Amino acid sequence: MTSEILKVREQFGAHLIGRDVGKRIREQYFSGPPATWPRVLDLTGVDQATESCADELFGTLARRAGLGPVRSIELTGCEPAVREAIEYVLALVEKPPPSPNRAAIERLLGRRGRRIVPKG
Amino acid sequence: MPTVRPPTTLRFGSTAALLAALPSREERGREQIMLQMGSLRWIEALPLAILASYVNDHARQNRRQYRSAGRVTLPDRYEFLQRMDFFKAIGLEMSERFARHEPTGRFVPVREVGVSREVQVAAADIVDTLRVDDQEAANVLRHCIGEVIDNVFVHANSPTNATICAQHFPNARRTQVGIVDTGIGFRASFASSPVYSEMALSDREAMMLGLAPYVTSKPLATDMYDSGYGRLGVGLFIVSAVLDQVGGRIQIASQTALFQQKRWSTVRPWQGAIIGFEVPDEPLVSYEEALRVARQRAIEIARSRDLE
C-alpha cells in the first residue's frame, strides 16, 4: 500500500544519521517500482541528513531506477542542509567522481617510483 | 599473568602511551590479565573507551566474563570510573554505592553500540546527554558520531561492536568522543577488497586510503545493507574535513599507525580501530558551511587525482 505523502520525521526522526535509517525508509516505502513510491516526501522537522543516509536512500534508488523517478519525488519542508545532502549524492550518481586507478593510488600513497610488491 | 599498567594520566593525546601499555592478543594469550589502575589520576573519554574495549576483547576472545578473564587494582578514588560505567562495561560487578553524575554533569558513560540499527539513536542520545547548547556543534557531533559508528558496522567485523564514551570539558569548552572497535582494522579491510588486495598496504597506507575521498575498501555490494551497490568512500574524509573546518580535531589509530595532530606515528599495534575527536562548543564555521567546503574539497581532490 503506497501513501501519497510520507512524513519522514514522524516515523524516522529529526536526524537522518547512518545508512540503516536510509535503508529502512527505502525498504519500507520504495521497495516496489517507481509508480508505487510516495509522491511527496515531507521533510518538515528533519534537521540533518548524512551523506551515507542520503546515499542509502536516494543514491541507491537513483542507481536502480534512474535519476528521473527520484527527481520526480517532491520534497517539502526541506531544510537547506538536508537538501544539500540529497543533491550531493544525486550529483555523485549523475557524475560519479573518478575512481582512482592504480597509478593514482600509488601517487596518493607517495609510492611513486617504488616497486609494489604483490602479496604472497 | 600479563599486566597492564596504564599511564597515570590518560588524556585525548595519550593514545600512544596507553597502547604501549597494552599487551597484544598474542602476547596475553588466554591468560588472565592484571589491570593495574592503582596509580591512575586522570582519565578522559577516549582512553576510557580504549581500555573498556581492550578488556572486553580479551574476555570475548577467551569466551570469559571479566571476573575470570582478569583482575583489577583500583586507584584510591575510583568513583569517576564507576560513574562512567567502566566496570559495568567490562562486566565487573562493583558496589553501587557511589554518586551518579549530577544532572549538570555532561558525560556519556562507556557503552557498546551493538547493531547498525542503533546508530541513529546512539548519535542522538549522546548529543542529548551532553546537552550541547550550540545547534551547530550538536549537528557536527551527531554527524561525526553517526558516520564513524556506521563505519564500524560496514568495515570492522568487531567482536566488541563499537565502544563509545564521551564527555564535555567546560573549561576547555570542548566535547570529546571516543569510538573504538576491535575488528579487522583498516589494512585488513582494504586487503579484503579485490581492488587493493595485491598492493600489500602498510597500516599507515591503508589509513591514508581510508581518509582519502572516494576511496573505499567496499566498492562492491555487501550483504549487510543489501543495497546492491558499494559505499561512497567519503564518510571519513568528510568527518575529518568538517572537524578541521569547525576547529575540532581527530585522531585515528589502527594496528601500528596513529594519525594525530595531522602527523603520523608508529605505535604498539591495536587490533581494530580507535577514533577520537573533539568538537569546540562554538564551531568556527557553521555545520552547513563546513559540510559544503568538505564536499567541495572531496570532489576537487578526486578530480585533481584524475588529472595528474
CB B241 within 8 A of CB B230: no
Return the sign of the alpha-carbon dihedral for residues B86, B89, B91, B97: positive
Query: What's the CA gap between B280 and B267, in Å, rounded?
Result: 27
Collect all residues of chain B within an 8 Å Cβ-Cβ radius of residue A55.
232
Q: What percentage of chain B exceeds 70 in pLDDT?
A: 89
The answer on pLDDT for A114 being more than 60 is no
In this complex, which of A18, A85, A117 lies closest to B200 when CB atoms are compared? A117
What would the pLDDT profile of A97-108 be if each residue is shown by its tens digit?
877 788 888 888
Query: What's the CA gap between A18 and B58, in Å, rounded?
Result: 29
CB contacts under 8 A, B 174-213 vs A, are: 191, 196-201, 205, 208-209, 212-213
Collect all residues of chain B within an 8 Å Cβ-Cβ radius of residue A21.
119-120
3-state helix, strand, coil in chain A (%, to 5): 50, 10, 40
* CA angle (B174 as vertex; B169, B177 as ends), nearest 5: 90
Query: Which three three-digit cell numbers place residue A48?
Result: 540533518
What would the pLDDT profile of B133-167 be if each residue is shown by its tens digit?
888 899 999 999 999 999 998 888 898 899 999 99
CB B156 within 8 A of CB B189: yes
Give the list of residues 6+ apart from residue B61 with CB closer than 8 angstroms, or none: B25, B30, B159
Most B CBs within 10 A among A53, A88, A94, A106, hence the mutation to make, goes to A88
Considering only A34-43, A96-105, B1-10, B151-160, which range has the smallest mean pLDDT?
A: A96-105
* Protein fold of B3-92+107-307: Heat Shock Protein 90 (3.30.565)
Asked if B198's CB is within 8 angstroms of A119's CB, the reply is: yes
Contact B288/A at CB under 8 A: yes
What would the pLDDT profile of B97-145 be if each residue is shown by its tens digit?
655 656 556 889 999 998 878 899 899 988 888 888 888 899 999 999 9
- Is pTM beyond 0.80 here? yes
Average pLDDT over residues A15-37: 94
Average pLDDT over residues B200-225: 80
Predicted complex ipTM: 0.87
What would the pLDDT profile of B240-263 be if each residue is shown by its tens digit?
999 999 999 999 999 999 999 899
Give the list of residues 6+ apart from residue B178 with CB closer than 8 angstroms, or none: B45, B46, B47, B48, B49, B50, B163, B164, B165, B166, B274, B275, B276
| Residue the block writes with cell 551547530 | B136
Nearest residue in chain A measured CA to CA from B127 = A15
Domain ranges in chain B are 3-92+107-307
